[in-house]
Amino acid sequence: MRILVTGGAGFVGSNLALTLEQEGHEVTALDDFSSGHFDNLCGFKGNVISADVVDAVLEEIVPDTEAVFHQAAITDTTVTDQYRMMRVNVEGFRNVLRFALKKKIRLVYASSAGTYGDGKNPMKEDQAPKPLNCYAFSKSVMDNIAREIIEKGSIPIVGLRYFNVFGPREKYKNKAASMIWQLSEQIKEGKRPRIFTAGEQKRDHFYVKVIVAANLRAMEAKKSGIVNVGTGIATTFNRLVEILNQTLKTQLPAEYFGNPYTGVYQDETRADTRLAQELIGFKAEYSVEDGIKEYLATQSSKLKSQNDNSKVKNKLLF
């Protein structure tokens, strides 16, 4: 199939684009490189288009597209420029949706667990949205727009409410990268991992392979809808520190500091996973422990090959 991945140079988008390509699809990655990075697409053989998803004329740029995975968004939840956030996330989505409707093709898009705010757990798709920031609000507006199309049955459309994803190719998100990335970087630098007091905040963290698998399922789903993607298990930040210390063979205790986002912070997120199973036949297969082990092993093998390469380069130079 000819597939468009918006936000294709980003964390999830690049993992998805590379997997779709491995599976034999012809993939185009579109990105404005605001939080994405070319390095994420090293080895990608498909087409890469640098464009703003808000006003890209997709009918002209990628006329033969047969399915779209829409990942492009401002993903830093602390961005306070509401016009920019709404323009990129909502109007960007509307542009992609317009294109999918015109071409009558399938659209799978990234929503977020942020839409639930501090709602009750486990978070269920039919509970009222309670966005605590403009990012989460933009995602709930996207879901409202999608719901109208789903009701009309115009095209197959699946919204995936991602919980907390971690894994390779997230580092260019910097401060918006996962807690697992932030804490592991601190530990690797020999610093104590810094978490909000008293570390009992919980998140439904899952490995990036899980989200790629969920997107692939959504591509084949018989029904349209908006579903959670999570494991159904929430892990505390204290437990993350424990797992990271075990995996990295370190013993650095957490350093606690006050949460500056009190009042607009999700203390716990945990997905109700039943609808995803029912609608797109998806269940997460990785535990957070296994995901972290695989993630850190990938990082150390990448580091080893970088070191080996630089040794070869040094030999050539001297």
Smallest separation, CB 1 to ligand NAD (Å): 21
Smallest separation, CB 267 to ligand NAD (Å): 17
* Beta carbons within 8 Å of 30's beta carbon, 6+ residues apart: 4, 5, 6, 7, 8, 48, 49, 50, 51, 53, 56, 61, 62, 72
Of the pair 32, 143, the CB lying nearest ligand NAD is at 32
Of the pair 162, 196, the CB lying nearest ligand NAD is at 162
Among the listed residues 35, 33, 40, the one whose alpha carbon sits nearest the alpha carbon of residue 78: 35
β-strand partners of 50:
31
Structure tokens that stand for 103 in this block: 């071409």
Cα–Cα distance measured from residue 55 to residue 47, given in angstroms and rounded to the nearest whole number: 19
Smallest separation, CB 237 to ligand NAD (Å): 15
Smallest separation, CB 314 to ligand NAD (Å): 33
**Catalytic option among 109, 135, 162, 295:** 135
Of the pair 7, 131, the CB lying nearest ligand NAD is at 7
**Catalytic option among 171, 173, 188, 293:** 173
Smallest separation, CB 75 to ligand NAD (Å): 4
Classify residue 309 as exposed, middle or buried by CB count within 10 Å of its CB (0-12, 13-18, 19+): exposed
Structure tokens that stand for 269 in this block: 């997120």
**Neighbour order of strands in the sheet with 106-112:** 47-50, 26-31, 2-6, 67-70, 106-112, 157-162, 225-229
Give yes or no: 295 in active site: no
Give yes or no: 130 in active site: no
Residues that bind ligand NAD (CB under 6 A): 7, 9-13, 31-36, 52-54, 71-75, 88, 92, 110, 112, 162, 164-165, 173
Specify whether the CB–CB gap between 108 and 261 falls below 8 A: no
Of the pair 54, 86, the CB lying nearest ligand NAD is at 54
Of the pair 147, 192, the CB lying nearest ligand NAD is at 147
When computed from its CA atoms, the radius of gyration of the chain, rounded to whole angstroms, is 20
128, HSE (Cβ side, Cα atoms, 13 Å): 1
Q: Which residues are catalytic?
A: 135, 173
